[in-house]
């Protein structure tokens, strides 16, 4: 069913790698990866996002941001995005994948995950809580 899960945000340095690492922990038998719509290619996880991951017991090492492309999209069984605009962009660019592109916040009233990049630590904290809550909801549904 959903064995290959892709998480997507803009830069692939804050939200999508955080969701990727949390889902990897929650769904150890699934293949989880991440990419960005406008990726900061080859960058690691942003330092505030990495600190939150590490402090919560997740691995933040060895991440290299990558640009979403046709091969990455086609390889995924499920694509989880952070915002509705990400969903629309991907559906326009990859129309054949429309049926597998969903919000990470689908199970919480289509909740969107705000971009914390270059914002306060409070915004990073809030974003992390939302990612964790919504990743758990997906794990409960497909685990």
3-state secondary structure 17-39: HHHHHHHHHHCCCCEEEEEECCC
What is the three-class DSSP state of 2? Answer: coil
Count CB-CB contacts under 10 A for residue 110.
11
Q: Say what angle helices 15-26 and 121-142 make with each other, to 10 degrees.
A: 40
Residues annotated as catalytic are 9, 15, 115
CA gap 17, 46 in Å, rounded: 9
Quote the CA–CA distance of 7 and 20 in Å, as a whole number: 6
């Amino acid at each position: 069913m959903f064995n290959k899960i892709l998480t997507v945000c803009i830069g692939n340095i804050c939200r999508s790698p955080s969701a990727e690492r949390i889902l990897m922990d929650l769904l150890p038998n699934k293949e989880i990866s991440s990419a960005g719509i406008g990726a900061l290619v080859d960058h690691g996880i942003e330092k505030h996002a990495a600190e939150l991951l590490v402090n919560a017991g997740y691995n933040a090492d060895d991440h290299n941001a990558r640009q979403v492309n046709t091969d990455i999209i086609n390889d995924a069984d499920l694509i989880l995005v952070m915002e509705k605009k990400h969903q629309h962009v991907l559906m326009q660019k990859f129309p054949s994948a429309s049926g597998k592109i969903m919000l990470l916040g689908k199970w919480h009233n289509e909740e969107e995950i705000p971009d914390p990049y270059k914002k306060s630590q409070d915004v990073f904290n809030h974003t992390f809580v939302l990612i964790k809550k919504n990743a758990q909801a997906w794990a409960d549904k497909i685990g």
